[in-house]
Amino acid sequence: MTRPLTAVLSLALVGACAKAPSAVTAPSTTAPPSIPFEKYELNNGLDVILSEDHSVPFVWVEVWYQVGSKDEQAGLTGFAHLFEHLMFQGSAHMNDDYFVPLQKIGAEVNGTTNTDRTNYYEGVPSEQLPLALWLEADRMGWLLPALTPEKLQNQKDVVRNERRQRYENRPYGQVGVWRNEALFPEGHPYRVTTIGKHEDIENAKIDDVQAFFKKWYVPNGASLAIVGDFDPAEAKALVQKYFGDIPRGAEPTPITSAPATLPASKVLHYESRVPHHQVSLAWLSPPLFAEGDATLDFVASMLTEGADSRLYQELVQKQQIAKDVVAYQGSARLASQFIIQATAAPGHTTDELVAAIDAELAKLAAAPPPTEELELIRTGWEVRFYGSLQTIAGKSGQLSSYNSLLGDPGALGRDLARYQAITPADVQKIASTVLAGPRVALHVHPLGEAPAGSILDNTVQARP
């Protein structure tokens, strides 16, 4: 998943924080970083972003659609992710598995969906740029003529099975579902996970699916990035040839604002098929690019990134009450989640973990961190930030995400500046406000070891 700095270094890790180098030299920040690019718009509204990079004989093609699971209707959830599957099932002029012609040339191909957007990409040898553009254009403009009830049913079954594998049948897989339901009220765009509800996927009718495609998968709701080894004049001609005749659709209106509040803290206990006791603490936090978003990335690093981090030192090494602990700022467009998750060591409880975590948070709220600690965190983030720009895939993802979220593919320097400006006082302030506010404490216990009154995981109830 390629997102802006916040997401590249935290969301894309899905809670698994990367270890910062123990000793690094900070890159020079005397001039703001940038990726050379050209942006223009076709008559049908498609944003086109071109960025030459002749370091390797490869080119990256990426299409972003301004639709994510937040834009779905009640009773019709999971459609954005469902199309992540349907878009690979063939289109009018290439009615075959999308991977077939690309795998023959050694391409890297995939797509991803989250709450806020959907993207598809191909990395191909430079001479295969026409093929990649033709395939992307065909499924943007002519997917529906090839979409049959049989294909739809097949992919509905695939998605429902994926949901079982990722959520119901995986230990702790339901935690994200429970957490969203506790944090967000009924009807909020982020309450339902991106994969959707079983019953909505199963009940999806082909007319509903076609209507969703017509609404969202239009050129005036999309951007096309071409990054790598190509000739700009040739690329522009190919883009016009393949995408220029796709008709503009009705203007899509993705949700851009949906405030979320948590009036009071919640403590929930679940009993599930898990091997160890685990607790997940979650706060509603500032949206992506809002004030405090970047600071919480730093807080997460201070708490659990590396063997010297505060919570790892206290819970895992000193007190030895936890097997592991991780913190991350799950940045998203409407509202973010700051999450701390820890697994209890044998003989210890999740209540012990919460008490120890709260003690460390209280220290961070009471006094700003030492400048040396903050600078080490900043250096690690800058190193990884620059590292994300070393591939054409990384550059494409950054250009596309900034264009999608901010309307400016060149927002790279603006993004990095957020992290360069964080002070110890900012860290103390966010710890004493956001992390001192209402939260969800979600305790998950092995079967037979949960306290009285715990909620039995419904996927356990459904099993023989």
Residue type, 365: A
Query: 5-15+37-243 with 266-368+423-461: one CATH topology?
Result: yes
To the nearest whole number, what is the mean pLDDT of the chain?
92
- Does 75 or 461 have the greater pLDDT score? 75
Residue 17, pLDDT > 90, answer no
Residue 162, pLDDT > 70, answer yes
| Domain range list for the chain | 5-15+37-243, 266-368+423-461
Give the pLDDT of residue 460: 80
The superfamily (CATH) of domain 266-368+423-461 is: Metalloenzyme, LuxS/M16 peptidase-like (3.30.830.10)
Give the pLDDT of residue 47: 98
How is domain 5-15+37-243 classified at the architecture level of CATH? 2-Layer Sandwich (3.30)
Give the pLDDT of residue 254: 96
pTM of the model: 0.91
CB 14 within 8 A of CB 393: no
> Tens digits of per-residue pLDDT, 206-265?
999 999 999 999 999 999 999 999 999 999 999 999 999 999 999 999 999 998 999 999
Give the pLDDT of residue 390: 93
CB 85 within 8 A of CB 202: no
Kindly state the average pLDDT of the residues 455-461: 86
> Tens digits of per-residue pLDDT, 332-376?
999 999 999 999 999 999 999 999 999 999 999 999 999 999 999
| Structure-token match 């390797």, residue found | 56
CB 217 within 8 A of CB 140: yes
Give the pLDDT of residue 28: 45
Kindly state the average pLDDT of the residues 83-105: 95
Give the pLDDT of residue 372: 97
Could you give phi then psi for residue 342, rounded to 5 degrees?
-140, 145
Could you give phi then psi for residue 5, rounded to 5 degrees?
-45, -50
Sheet of 47-52: strands edge to edge? 38-41, 47-52, 222-228, 58-65, 118-125, 108-113
Kindly state the average pLDDT of the residues 185-209: 96
Residue 380, pLDDT > 90, answer yes
Give the pLDDT of residue 359: 98
Residue 34, pLDDT > 80, answer yes
